[in-house]
Every structure is written in structure tokens, then in C-alpha cells.
């Protein structure tokens, strides 16, 4: 079973990488980009075959390691 975790900074948290990308897009002529938020995608190959158990395990992984839940939110997809 595969899982995909998308981690993003929470709204209101400063995103300097996103701001740098927004600025770079403007200098390349892409006008009208008012904001950019940058995150990360983590794909996991799991031995677990039970979908509910796999989702619970991945959420526990996120809470313990994959995401800083103080400043980041995450979304888990079981594929």
C-alpha cells in the first residue's frame, strides 16, 4: 500500500521560500502572482494491507516526525 503525505506551513506562518519563489516569478515576467506557499510531499511504501490501520499509522508518523505540527499542517492520502 502507498501513502502520500502533503505538508504545508499553517496559514499565518511566514514562508520565506514561498516569498522568494513569488518574487522570482515576478522578475521572470509572471505578473499577478500574489502569493506562494511552498510545502513538501512525502511518499511512503507500506507493508500494511488494512487501509484504516495504514492511515492511522501514517498520521502517527506525521505527528511524531514528518511534520512540525506547531507550524505545519498535513494531509494523508492512502493510494
Q: What is the pLDDT along the chain (79 residues), one digit of tens a residue?
A: 999 999 999 999 999 999 999 999 999 999 999 999 999 999 999 999 999 999 999 999 999 999 999 999 999 999 9
CA–CA distances in Å: residue 41 to residues 1, 24, 50, 76: 17, 22, 22, 10
- The residue whose grid cell reads 521572470 is 28
2-78 belongs to CATH 3.40.50.720: no
> Could you tell me the pTM of the whole model?
0.87
* Structure letter (DSSP) for residue 31: T
* Backbone conformation region of residue 33, classed left if phi is above 0, alpha if psi is from -120 to 50, else beta: beta
User: Domain spans of the chain?
Assistant: 2-78
Per-residue pLDDT, 67: 98
CA–CA distances in Å: residue 32 to residues 39, 41, 63: 21, 26, 36
* Structure letter (DSSP) for residue 13: S
Amino acid at each position: 500500500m502507498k501513502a502520500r503525505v502533503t505538508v504545508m506551513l499553517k496559514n499565518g506562518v511566514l514562508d520565506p521560500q514561498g516569498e522568494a519563489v513569488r518574487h522570482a516569478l515576478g522578475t521572470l515576467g509572471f505578473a499577478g502572482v500574489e502569493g506562494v506557499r511552498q510545502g513538501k510531499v512525502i511518499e511512503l511504501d507500506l507493508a500494511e494491507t488494512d487501509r484504516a490501520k495504514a492511515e492511522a499509522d501514517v498520521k502517527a508518523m506525521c505527528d511524531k516526525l514528518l511534520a512540525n505540527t506547531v507550524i505545519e499542517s498535513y494531509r494523508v492520502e492512502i493510494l
